[in-house]
Amino acid sequence: MCNQTVGLIAAEIERHGIPTVCLTLLREVAEKVRPPRTLSVPYPHGYPLGTPHDAVGQRKVIQAALALLEAERPVLRDYGIEE
């Protein structure tokens, strides 16, 4: 799904009291749209969790994303830098 669309949908869902977390491959889009909580990942398009069949690495991405639920919003973090 489009990074911009996901960010806008997340913001609307949050307005209804449901926490959200987004993964983005395009940090510059997240900077403009400002979704409530976003983890920017350094992977190629189509692979937001990283390398296929790398369950350990994918779990780390998911854990980093879910950790954003504890952060004040809006938050935009780069995966691998602030864990």
Residue 35 CB neighbour total at 10 angstroms: 25
Instruction: Say if 45 falls within a structural domain.
Output: yes
Instruction: Say if 83 falls within a structural domain.
Output: no
Region 22-31: mean pLDDT is 93
Say what the pTM is.
0.88
Region 12-34: mean pLDDT is 94
The band of 81, judged by pLDDT with boundaries at 50, 70 and 90, is low
pLDDT of residue 20: 95
Instruction: Say if 54 falls within a structural domain.
Output: yes
- Give 59's contacts (C-beta < 8 A, 6+ positions apart): none
Domain that holds residue 7: 3-78
Domains in the chain, number: 1
